[in-house]
Amino acid sequence: MSQSFPGPKTKAALRRGIPLFKNGLRFDQDEKKAGSRGFRPVRQIVIDKAAGDYVWDLDGRRYIDFQNGWATNPLGNCHPEILDVVEDANRRYGFHFDHPLRYELAERLADIMPNKALPRTNYEVSGTEAAEAAVHLALTHTQRRYVVTFGASYHGNSLAGKVLSGLSGESAAYLEGWGGGVIRAPYPFSDHIPADMTPQQYVDFCLWYLEKQIPETVVSADNIAAVLIEPGLAEGGNWIPAIDFIQGLRRICDRNDWLLISDEVLTGVGRTGKMWAIEHYDVVPDILVYGKNLSGGIAPLAGISARDDILGDNSHFNSGSTFAGSPAGCAAAIKTLEIYERDGIVAHAKKLGDVADEIMSEWEQYAIVRQIRCSGLLMGVSFNATQKMHPDAEDWWAARAVRGEMLERGVWAISDHEDTIRLYPALNMAEATLREGLAIMEEAIERVAKGCVIEGDGAAYPSGVSGF
């Protein structure tokens, strides 16, 4: 491997730019700290060009893109057909709230909803706004005051999004007093299960906690409006819930007149090999939240869909913003859905997911690999640190080291301050490219497993910069 990674142009841009942003004052001292402990700086790139399945850094080096704009480019980077319709929409409509594309897209969305049971639409700009809108819609429809969310969930980075989310660490620091209407429940992880429970026992516990513990010790069941669930816990590590859990959750909601909100900002529009992740469970939610994949990674658009009786007549609910349902966003979404239908994108994503699952299932032979999780192209690999790495190594160091090796070898993936690497290939990626990227990832795992490389221990480049 090259000792000059990243290249000089990329390195110069990082040193110039990173100090201007969050934690920028700590940049030099964190880099020195990592070096003093025998670690190399965290591997990082700056994108100069993106096209299809690839990105290029400022030094001209090409990478297979498993980061995928944080799972926002379902048809690869800079899809030319979507670029064309966005430009046409901007030239024809500029920006105005009412335009015919709003209505055409709403019709298309109603047609692809689970069981076609959610015909009403409300547009937003981002997934964060859409998650907030879904919660407010549930509160106003039920005229109740509480919503149940889950540990390690992610519903956005606004004030309300942070309160609704369950990520650990400092993501919601000093907002503790703002979460009075949010009740946090345990998510049914398949690993790190407490009290030596089996996975099935833990699923049963999580369901029991929802239906018995919360109403008996936290708040009355008849004051809970909804349960907000990710049917694939994305930012928290690409955890995939058991069928028993989601079906049990639906039954609990029905018994208690709670609404079930499925947050599919990341898992929706084909990511898991079905149009909606909730469809893997034969469950229909009452409200569905979407974004990211919907508009092909070109123009921002998100929204919610709901039953007629929930969104069809609700004078207390009000949501949306200046750019919600913009002509460009709607044009991008319409073209994206057209391409999905024309090219069989969801079926192709399922095929790629099956290929990836078969390949990655062999990786648990490596001591540093704890668990492989795949649902279509929602893929995660969680890691264990070993003594070969460092006597004080934490599990997320192993994930960061593997990601750094992948990057040096030409594959770009996501690893935040967690013990998991997350992979989000484009849903139309060529199978050969997927196989090549996974082969490179295995090479990186093998090298780290041998104790050949240690990544930075804190943030030689602070969290929040693209690629982390």
Per domain, the residue ranges of the chain are 8-66+345-449, 80-343
Least reliable range by pLDDT among 38-52, 89-103, 278-292, 420-434? 38-52
Given a cut of 50, whether residue 424 has pLDDT beyond it is yes
Q: Taking a C-beta distance cutoff of 8 angstroms, is the pair 468, 420 a contact? A: no
Q: Tell me: the pLDDT tens digits for 81-140?
A: 999 999 999 999 999 989 999 999 999 999 999 999 999 999 999 999 999 999 999 999
355: pLDDT strictly greater than 80: yes
For residues 369-378, give the mean pLDDT. Answer: 96
| pLDDT number for residue 392 | 72
What's the CA dihedral at 68, 70, 71, 74 to 10 degrees? -50
Where b means 16+ CB within 10 Å and e means fewer, 287-298 reads: bbbbbbbbbbbb
Residue 34, pLDDT score: 61
pLDDT recorded at residue 24: 76
Q: Mean of the per-residue pLDDT values for the chain?
A: 91
State the pLDDT confidence band at 457, using cuts at 50, 70 and 90: very low
Q: Cα(46)–Cα(17) distance, rounded to whole angstroms?
A: 10
Do residues 383 and 459 lie in contact, with contact meaning Cβ atoms separated by under 8 Å?
no
CA distances from 257 to 141, 306, 312 (A): 11, 16, 19
Q: What is the DSSP string of 176-225?
A: GGG-TTEEEE----SSS-GGG--HHHHHHHHHHIIIIIHHHHTS-GGGEE
d(CA 249, CA 204): 11
pLDDT score, position 468: 32
The per-residue pLDDT for 450 is 87
**The domain defined by 80-343 carries CATH number 3.40.640.10:** yes
CB-neighbour burial class of residue 98 (10 A; exposed 0-12, middle 13-18, buried 19+): exposed
DSSP string, 104-131: HHHHHHHHHSGGG---EEEEESSHHHHH
Q: What's residue 444's pLDDT? A: 96
Looking at the domain covering 8-66+345-449, what would its CATH class be? alpha beta
Three-class secondary structure of residue 381 per DSSP: strand
Closest residue by Cα to residue 292 from 129, 138, 422, 132: 129
441 neighbors 380 (Cβ within 8 angstroms): no
For residue 82, the SS3 value is helix
Please check whether residue 58 is in contact with residue 46, taking contact to mean a CB–CB distance below 8 angstroms: yes
Q: Supply the pLDDT for residue 4.
A: 79
Q: What is the pLDDT of residue 462?
A: 32
